[in-house]
Amino acid sequence: MTDEKFDAIVVGAGPSGNAAAYTMAKAGLNVLQIERGEYSGSKNVQGAILYADALEKIIPDFRDDAPLERHIIEQRMWTMDDKSHTGMHYRSDDFNEEKPNRYTILRAQFDKWFSAKVREAGALLLCETTVTELVKDLKGNVIGVRTDRQGAPIMADVVVLAEGVNGLVGQRSGLREEVAPESVALAVKEMHFLPREVVEARFNLSGNEGVVIEAMGTITKGMTGTGFLYTNEESISVGIGCIVSDMAESKVTPNELLEAFKNHPSIKPLLADSECKEYAAHLIPEGGYNAIPRLYGDGWIVVGDAGQFVNAVHREGSNLAMTTGRVAAETIIALNRKREEMSASNLAEYAARLEQSFVMKDLKKYKGIPALLHGNKGNFFGTYPQLISQAMQTWFRVDGVDKKSKEKAIMRNFRETRSLRGMVGDAFKLVRAWR
């Protein structure tokens, strides 16, 4: 096998690597995919939500056999303080459509399914094999990879680096900088099992309907971060994540954060009597547009989390991973058909195509958000959630105080706690970063 030269080698079998390998193999390219885990998915962790649109563009009939948990019909956005949550919920029967838009998934199962599709399409998958370094020719062009298995290096026209947020190959080969602790979040997550009837009763669901809760506030103890709770068929994924540099300064352990979140009075009843079957941790790229590294060079291209492709504001990542994997593959296929070189100047087409897609448009739109939230974390993840909760409680508690006085008390609380100038400044900065 090592004598063979492949059209492409894909490093990693997560959503971006599988999207790239599938697309290229389907087009007839000779593809080798290398995965360090026992199977595709065994090293992968996500919330996890699957965005149908990105996968439909790769496997249009994926719903026929993909292991999907629940389609999402309701989104709950919560701002929390220590005892309360203020929620914005959106639920619509329109999401009960023939081809639902978002699903919860379990990554170990889903990735296995995707990987089987990749092999059916004709790609060769090598599991339990770690790529240790890239092989370059004298001019510095990437021409193959070395692995931790014995034998000669494996050669290819192009190497697709789909190695994830914690990818070592690209960094060690000098293709990109190490991820900064400021632009990555550490998330911990547990899988809690319950009978499916209990999940449905508890979340007001029928059939395969599902609910997503995204939460922010004092749950992250003044650090930049969010919590989440997703309903699966007969389990609940619950987790919390904060920016690594914030967590390094704090003395709270990730496990303590997760325990406090699980024991929050708004969360605890949702998890009651469940059985935890897994505890996972994973990094999430949160640096946005400004953290994107060089994406291509002579003989190589970067896709997915390794390229920091996560829209942290909308909690989207797997769709950006699949889309960048597909677009990279399409770029490579076009060059392969024309028998052109996989040179940096030719692969630049990849970045050009991404610029025209939602991937770069969205990341550009929010490029100011990570720095804004990080610079004002005390306010956005502490002061405001507390003020909102206090205002709600003042407003809803019926205690003989007249409504005009209540309004005044609420406004006074905001002014005295955060000052008018501070609030106007925060609003201005937020609007400017959001545009």
Partner 1 sequence: MSEMISGVAAKVEEKLFQNRYLVDAGRPHIRVKPHNEPSASLLAMITLCPAGCYATTESGQVEVAADGCLECGTCRIVTKKTGEIEWNYPRGGFGVLYKFG
Of 44 and 231, CB closest to partner 1: 44
Asked if 329 and 394 count as a contact pair (C-beta separation under 8 A), the reply is no
**Which residues between 233 and 262 bind partner 1 (CB under 8 A)?**
235, 244, 247-256, 259-260
**Which residues between 132 and 161 bind partner 1 (CB under 8 A)?**
147-149
Residue 116 to residues 65, 68, 134, 427, Cα–Cα distance (Å): 11, 15, 26, 48
241 vs 281: CA distance, rounded Å = 9
Of 27 and 154, CB closest to partner 1: 154
CA angle 136, 141, 142 (to 5 degrees): 55
What backbone torsions phi and psi does residue 259 show, to the nearest 5 degrees? -65, -40
343 vs 298: CA distance, rounded Å = 4
Rule CB under 8 A: choose which of 29, 123, 154, 165 binds partner 1: 165
> If you write DSSP's letter for every residue of 222-278 in order, what string do you get?
TSSEEEEEEE-SSEEEEEEEEEHHHHHHS---HHHHHHHHHTSTTTHHHHTT-EEEE
Of 278 and 362, CB closest to partner 1: 278
Nearest approach in angstroms of CB 355 to partner 1 is 28
Return the H-helix or E-strand segment holding 362: helix 358-365
**Which residues between 341 and 360 bind partner 1 (CB under 8 A)?**
none
Of 165 and 354, CB closest to partner 1: 165
Cross-strand partners of 80: 85, 217
Nearest approach in angstroms of CB 250 to partner 1 is 8
Two structure tokens written together for 124: 């060769």
Of 77 and 276, CB closest to partner 1: 276
113 vs 91: CA distance, rounded Å = 29
Two structure tokens written together for 261: 């979140």
Nearest approach in angstroms of CB 41 to partner 1 is 6
| Per-position x/- string for 26-65, each x denoting binding to partner 1 as judged by CB under 8 A, each - no binding | ----------xxx--xxxxxx-x-----------------
Nearest approach in angstroms of CB 155 to partner 1 is 20
Residue 143 CA from chain centroid, whole number = 30
| Per-position x/- string for 261-280, each x denoting binding to partner 1 as judged by CB under 8 A, each - no binding | --x------------xxxxx
Nearest approach in angstroms of CB 311 to partner 1 is 21
147 vs 303: CA distance, rounded Å = 20
Return the H-helix or E-strand segment holding 155: strand 154-161
396 vs 223: CA distance, rounded Å = 29
Rule CB under 8 A: choose which of 127, 155, 351, 430 binds partner 1: 127
Count of chain residues binding partner 1 (CB under 8 A):
57
Of 147 and 386, CB closest to partner 1: 147
Residue 61 CA from chain centroid, whole number = 23
Does residue number 223 form part of the binding site for partner 1 (CB under 8 A)?
Answer: no
Nearest approach in angstroms of CB 365 to partner 1 is 26
Nearest approach in angstroms of CB 234 to partner 1 is 12
| Residues ≥6 apart with Cβ < 8 Å to 79 | 85, 86, 87, 215, 216, 217, 384, 385, 388, 389
For partner 1, which stretch binds (CB under 8 A), given 103-111, 195-203, 293-301, 409-417?
Answer: 103-111
Rule CB under 8 A: choose which of 11, 66, 179, 267 binds partner 1: 179
Does residue number 362 form part of the binding site for partner 1 (CB under 8 A)?
Answer: no
Of 92 and 255, CB closest to partner 1: 255
Does residue number 1 form part of the binding site for partner 1 (CB under 8 A)?
Answer: no
Does residue number 184 form part of the binding site for partner 1 (CB under 8 A)?
Answer: yes
Instruction: Please report, as ranges, the residues that interact with partner 1 according to CB under 8 A.
Output: 36-38, 41-46, 48, 106-109, 111, 127-130, 147-149, 165-166, 168, 178-181, 184, 186, 188, 190-191, 235, 244, 247-256, 259-260, 263, 276-283
